[in-house]
Homo-oligomer: A and B are copies of this chain.
């Protein structure tokens, strides 16, 4: 068991994957000498060389498109998109090529490309650095979308994503990069939670709060606060957005009868909507209240000095819980 921040855990996970498999390559802007703007790839170019850690030209379509080509040649490229707002130049490669090549070739081609990117807000940054694009990828068949919330999960899920034969969008909660957690690096393969399983982080009986990535901490804080008032919230960390582990969530909701989903992304067509639809369908008779969603507002992400009002807060989560309990 080692204590380390999430950024460091991803770094360690990348290193482990690179040591295990010489076909694993890293590609991105400023990931080599600089070690990435968040230092997630710190030291890896020094240790693995410029042929395996590529500082690329400033072109995201280029990064993803050439990664795809390398994957066709048997490599396992891990792309870094410097900030989530800069993934869109690569969108055509992701949606029309990466997501479809396996189906297009009827299984003859594999494109095991991982696309890592910091996501979510709360770091007081300028435009385009703080958004949550997971829904855009989760809507696209052929992709997998993973969004860990803790150092331990970050360490393991990045390795599992690299090992996956399918393309994976790997979102990293940027405002939690420096939060430390215990990482059990010594687990045997069979002991690691599988990539797409949700995890119950706290048991409770009164309502289920589902969160993922940066909002998990919020959900846990809300649960702690609610407990002081005698309300027992169950907290589920989704960990994966595509596929969604709806089983774990419904199992919880069947017991609690109430569900609140917390995300940073705008609500419309978001993960909360998908969960609400699926959980309501499966638990129609055990739900005591409609699913409540807490998320970003339907606005372009605002300036940094307002973002605390834009993002979900413990208060908003508790408000939603209260409404669910009142129903």
Most chain B Cβ neighbours within 10 Å, of A85, A100, A139, A302: A139
Contact (Cβ within 8 A) A141 B266: yes
Of the candidates B142, B265, B327, which one forms a contact with A300 in the assembled complex, judged by CB atoms under 8 Å apart?
B142
A100 to B299 Cα, complex, angstroms:
9
Contact (Cβ within 8 A) A135 B139: yes
Contact (Cβ within 8 A) B273 A281: no
A280 to B277 Cα, complex, angstroms:
9
Let me know if A95 is at the binding interface, CB within 8 A: yes
Let me know if A298 is at the binding interface, CB within 8 A: yes
Contact (Cβ within 8 A) A269 B139: yes
Which residues of the partner chain B approach A142 to less than 8 Å between Cβ atoms? 299-300
Of the 9-residue stretches A29-37, A174-182, A185-193, A285-293, which lies at the interface with chain B? A285-293
Contact (Cβ within 8 A) B96 A139: no
Contact (Cβ within 8 A) A281 B290: yes
Let me know if A75 is at the binding interface, CB within 8 A: no
Instruction: Decide yes or no: A268 and B276 within 8 Å by CB, A289-B284, A300-B104 being known contacts.
Output: no
Contact (Cβ within 8 A) B291 A280: yes
Q: Which residue of B lies closest to A142 (CB)?
A: B300
CB distance from A137 to the nearest CB of B (A): 9
Contact (Cβ within 8 A) B96 A128: yes
Interface residues in A284-322 by Cβ distance below 8 A to B read: 284, 289-293, 297-300, 302
What residues make up the interface of A, taking CB atoms closer than 8 Å to B? 85, 88-89, 91-92, 95-96, 99-100, 103-104, 127-128, 135-136, 138-139, 141-142, 242, 244, 265-274, 276-277, 280-281, 284, 289-293, 297-300, 302, 327
